[in-house]
Structure 1
Amino acid sequence: MAVLDANMTAQLQQLLGNLREPIVLRASLDDSDKSKQTEELLKEIEALHDKVSYERSDDNERRPSFEIARAGTDVGVHFAGLPMGHEFTSLVLALLQVGGHPVKVSDEQAQQIRDIEGTFYFETYMSLTCQNCPDVVQALNAMSVLNPNIHHIAIEGGAFQDEIEARDIKAVPTVYLNGEVFGQGRMTVEDFISKLDTGADAKAAAKLSEKEPFGVLVIGGGPAGVAAAIYTARKGIRTGLVAERIGGQVLDTNAIENFISMPYTEGPKLAAALEAHLHEYEIDVMKAQKVASITDEDGLKKVVTETGAALRAKQVILATGARWRRMGVPGEEEYRNKGVTFCPHCDGPLFKGKSVAVIGGGNSGVEAAIDLAGVVGHVTVVEFLDTMRADDVLQRKLKSLPNVDIILSAATSEVVGDGKGVTGLTYTDRETNESKSIDVEGVFVQIGLLPNTEFLDGVVDLNERKEIVISDRGATSDPAIFAAGDVTTEPYKQIVVAEGSGATAALGAFDASIRG
């Protein structure tokens, strides 16, 4: 049975027309069904272009696994398992890049990667449902194509459960370098360069500090920040955007069904569309930068990043978004990524057949519990209030599932573990004040958001929830600073609302500038 459907086959065949160099698919297989599927996939790819050949080498102990190699060179990338689902794009990009299609990084970044000295063996453990994993896999694959001394294999955790257990991996992506844990969570090419080239941050900061002042500098790369930057650029204002990543929380969102005009999309796809739209305008986009402070200097706003870069602008639009709220109980930090996690789509497959808890009975918590129920052995939803706040349609679906329990009026008091991972959860029954416990191996925290405003104390007025107080035009207490999106007092934290908020802040800033 074919692994690729007709649509995927047609798309891949068209893309393989970009190959410039012959590539060899070298497989290491055994008699398992996964190996049979892997061989079928590789043979299907081979049949699509005469620059692609397949051979069986069986030289890798991980089976099934395969290398995509540029014929006659040391250039290649490796996959262990079947890279479908969210990782199919990683497979396609690897085929093209090993085949000589240009890697999509700046010339400066490409040279930085080529100049990295030393030999590096990276292993990335990922799941096919993880939306953060492709960024990491694709970044390391690209780097290994540009620098043959950088080696990378992407390992599908579901196919190598013994390694997941042996290395006690409870969150993906988890990256190992030369056998030691290197990092977890979403990482970009910029992040890897920064860690491998110790002078990269200082060089990047110096270059950023040389930039001329902006008319408007947008801080944040989510829907609000992107919308604000596009609107100011369309007004002819010299616009810069500085952010840790483009997409913000959208990158961590799975299904999106309420973005008007688009019945269904997924977070990474929408984030990619946001970034593509940004580049339609003359916007100076500065990624992998987190802002540390904003001060006044010579009639301008001076924005300093954590790497030491100093940017200047006449006006600033704050769109720094929010992050997942923590429980603040003993054991939470100790067992973070060792059973405590915030991404059910990413890490759910690592708890296959196990018991887990979901903290929170709002829409996010119930949606997480529904998704997890199809993967794990048992789900317990723990809600602080005496009723769940999720939409009725979600609650009905949740209650229809046979492997889900719901505990109401429960104040989580501790995450319990054995030093290696989570073993349980204790909570206080708020009606009886009795302490109770449940045995779980995973805790998925879904209790809302905290605004990213730590660097703004004394810069603009914040409310009691540390949100930026704004007017109906996005204005803050500082006449030169506007704000938009989830970081503000805007009550509805929705993608479509954030985009409108970004546009409002941009127009508010423009109106203020012309009124002088």
Structure 2
Amino acid sequence: MLDDTLKSQLKAYLEKVTQPFEIVASLDDGAKSQELHGLLTDIASLSDKISLNLYGQDSRRPSFALNRPDQDMGIVFAGIPMGHEFTSLVLALLQVGGHPPKVTDEVIEQIKGLDDALHFETYYSLSCQNCPDVVQALNLMAVLNPNVSHVAIDGALFQDEVEERQVMSVPSIYLNGQLFDQGRMSLEQILAKVDTGAARREAAKLNDKPSFDVLVVGGGPAGASAAIYAARKGIRTGVAAERFGGQVMDTMAIENFISVPHTEGPKMAAALEEHVKEYEVDIMNLQRAVKLVPATQPGGEHEVQLESGASLKSKTLILATGARWREMNVPGEADYRNKGVAYCPHCDGPLFKGKRVAVIGGGNSGVEAAIDLAGIVGRVTLIEFMDEMRADAVLQKKLKSLPNVDIILGARTTEVNGDGTRVNGLTFEERASGEIKRLDLEGIFVQIGLIPNTEWLRGSLVEMSERGEIITDAHGTTSVPGIFAAGDVTTVPYKQIIIAMGEGSKAALGAFDHLIRS
């Protein structure tokens, strides 16, 4: 199952295992069970502390559990965790084998303090870059607390369950049989949701923090570079971010970041956070800004109010809250979000295997999504509002060469249709004729660009464009003295990671210059 190179790498990792444990496999006569048997045999052969038991009784087959002697660890993989989930498997092997996790003592104690019985199930796809964060977080909770258990389920392999539970977006997380959440979640986010007192305790700590010299709002590429440049000046620097990494976390492949030929969004986001942590930066994650109160006099402090009820103050601010996927804003879209309406083809595409889907948008992201989906689904229809696609010529040529792709130009989507539980069609208008038409399909992937995250700035005196982007000058300065902005949230053209990083560093230098001059 594993090639020699991967075996060698895995063997080196498994040398960190300090206590014996058993892999308990539940298999049948199918091809996937034989494939899993091969994988587990390879793993067991690489460490004398790992044994393989082929007599598991789990009803999901193929699946396997990781158990210490006389101790059910509550970790089960239903499926074959390769692709993005191979890292989740390796971490689970190490942690069940006694290797300490890379989390703070405070988080460990919070996990151990959970008293309720929590049985989680996560449906994932092997191509989903968002799923490993959830799987790894819940596995770790199971390792540390006997009240917690977790089953990670490959949705493509257990289609009957996916249909029964109407899972149309991954990761989909169930807690004690009920839907808990959908989409990427960090360990801290999960804990905040199950530990009801966590938000209150965190808000109290934030309110007690002294004022910052520079407070960065947002933890994407612009925010991370701003924090590093500010911290290197030796001034008190903080970062308040709803999720570190921002939109980069939802990006599959990054091939235009100069000097790095290829990387993936989550990997880059992790590297950004690790780089920031090398400096004395106060990182405040899971913090959503809801209101900005600018200083009332020159040299005064600006205040950022958070959703938790806490507030932070700073002499200067750098607004780097980025952007999010733009929605169609048509009837039915909100009703069927995660019930057939999706925004991440890499994550949710495998759930639509063999089905009919539409991609809305003819730019690079839309055409790339249609190309990727064509290899998975039964048929793809790309719908573009304009009379021609805006994607690069090479992408258009590839798309048009695919036999299971239809392209509709000059069409305006008017409604998402469904049966009350899931999408079953899409209505659109031919712009030239005004004729209304309907497509029968099971999935809709929306790829129509980004919208800036600036709703929280309304009424703050920060000047914005008609599109809601923050207007800045060449130094990143906004219309309010002492407040700067950077990245996709601003009017700076070309929303690219490398541009956002440059703008973030420039804004930090501008903030420092403002501090020393005032």
Cα offset, 1:478, TM superposition: 1.1
Letter in 1 for 2:131: C
The superposition leaves residues 423-450 of structure 1 with CA deviations (integer Å, 9 ceiling, x where unpaired) of 1111000000010111110000000100
Counterpart for residue 233 of structure 2: 235
- Within the candidate set 63, 66, 69, 1:65 is matched to 63
Secondary structure of residue in 1 paired with 2:512: helix
2: CA distance, partners of 1:138 / 1:289: 22
Secondary structure of residue in 1 paired with 2:101: coil
Cα offset, 1:214, TM superposition: 1.3
1: CA distance, partners of 2:469 / 2:125: 35
2: CA distance, partners of 1:502 / 1:210: 27
Residues 1:412 and 2:413 aligned together:
yes
1: CA distance, partners of 2:162 / 2:325: 26
Could you tell me whether the CA contact under 8 Å between 2:370 and 2:380 is conserved in 1? yes
- Within the candidate set 509, 512, 515, 2:511 is matched to 509
Q: State the percentage of identical aligned residues.
A: 62
Q: Unmatched 5+ residue regions in structure 1?
A: none
Counterpart for residue 443 of structure 1: 444
Residues 1:204 and 2:205 aligned together:
no
Cα offset, 1:49, TM superposition: 1.2
Most deviating of 403-412 and 284-293: 284-293
Counterpart for residue 154 of structure 2: 156
Cα offset, 1:237, TM superposition: 1.4
1: CA distance, partners of 2:48 / 2:121: 30
Residues 1:303 and 2:286 aligned together:
no
- Within the candidate set 246, 249, 268, 2:247 is matched to 249
Letter in 2 for 1:493: K
2: CA distance, partners of 1:448 / 1:296: 30
1: CA distance, partners of 2:113 / 2:378: 48
Counterpart for residue 133 of structure 1: 131
Cα offset, 1:274, TM superposition: 1.0
Letter in 1 for 2:263: T
TM score, norm. by length of structure 2: 0.98
Could you tell me whether the CA contact under 8 Å between 2:74 and 2:148 is conserved in 1? no
Could you tell me whether the CA contact under 8 Å between 1:70 and 1:76 is conserved in 2? no
1: CA distance, partners of 2:138 / 2:429: 45
2: CA distance, partners of 1:313 / 1:11: 47
Aligned residue runs from structure 1 range 59-458, under 5 A: 59-296=57-294, 299-458=300-459
2: CA distance, partners of 1:59 / 1:293: 54
1: CA distance, partners of 2:59 / 2:198: 36
Most deviating of 211-220 and 347-356: 211-220
Could you tell me whether the CA contact under 8 Å between 1:144 and 1:152 is conserved in 2? yes
Counterpart for residue 492 of structure 1: 494
Cα offset, 1:7, TM superposition: 2.5
Could you tell me whether the CA contact under 8 Å between 1:21 and 1:71 is conserved in 2? no
2: CA distance, partners of 1:423 / 1:250: 31
Letter in 2 for 1:386: D
Could you tell me whether the CA contact under 8 Å between 1:291 and 1:306 is conserved in 2? yes
Could you tell me whether the CA contact under 8 Å between 2:120 and 2:175 is conserved in 1? yes
Letter in 1 for 2:478: T
Cα offset, 1:76, TM superposition: 4.0
The superposition leaves residues 152-193 of structure 1 with CA deviations (integer Å, 9 ceiling, x where unpaired) of 010001111111111111111101111111110111111111
2: CA distance, partners of 1:176 / 1:291: 28
1: CA distance, partners of 2:46 / 2:208: 48
Could you tell me whether the CA contact under 8 Å between 2:231 and 2:281 is conserved in 1? yes
Letter in 1 for 2:344: C
Equivalenced residue count is 514
Secondary structure of residue in 1 paired with 2:508: helix
Counterpart for residue 33 of structure 1: 31
The superposition leaves residues 279-333 of structure 1 with CA deviations (integer Å, 9 ceiling, x where unpaired) of 1111111111111112146821222211112222111111100000110111101
2: CA distance, partners of 1:104 / 1:301: 35
Cα offset, 1:363, TM superposition: 0.5
Letter in 1 for 2:356: S
Cα offset, 1:273, TM superposition: 1.2
2: CA distance, partners of 1:233 / 1:333: 41
Secondary structure of residue in 1 paired with 2:459: coil
1: CA distance, partners of 2:15 / 2:276: 28
After TM superposition, where is structure 1 displaced by more than 3 Å over at least 4 residues in a row?
Answer: none
Letter in 1 for 2:449: G
Could you tell me whether the CA contact under 8 Å between 2:73 and 2:149 is conserved in 1? no
Cα offset, 1:73, TM superposition: 2.6
2: CA distance, partners of 1:428 / 1:276: 48
The superposition leaves residues 70-105 of structure 1 with CA deviations (integer Å, 9 ceiling, x where unpaired) of 233343411000000000111111111111112222
2: CA distance, partners of 1:8 / 1:453: 45
Most deviating of 359-368 and 55-64: 55-64
Letter in 2 for 1:188: S
Could you tell me whether the CA contact under 8 Å between 1:76 and 1:98 is conserved in 2? no
2: CA distance, partners of 1:511 / 1:71: 61
Secondary structure of residue in 2 paired with 1:433: coil
Counterpart for residue 468 of structure 2: 466
Cα 1:351–1:88 shift into 2, 3 Å: same
Could you tell me whether the CA contact under 8 Å between 1:29 and 1:58 is conserved in 2? yes
1: CA distance, partners of 2:98 / 2:56: 25
Could you tell me whether the CA contact under 8 Å between 1:246 and 1:271 is conserved in 2? yes
2: CA distance, partners of 1:7 / 1:285: 38
Secondary structure of residue in 2 paired with 1:159: coil
Letter in 2 for 1:389: R
Most deviating of 71-80 and 114-123: 71-80
2: CA distance, partners of 1:445 / 1:365: 8
Most deviating of 277-286 and 426-435: 277-286
TM score, norm. by length of structure 1: 0.98
Say what the alpha-carbon RMSD is for the aligned residues: 1.1
Letter in 2 for 1:81: G
Letter in 1 for 2:512: F
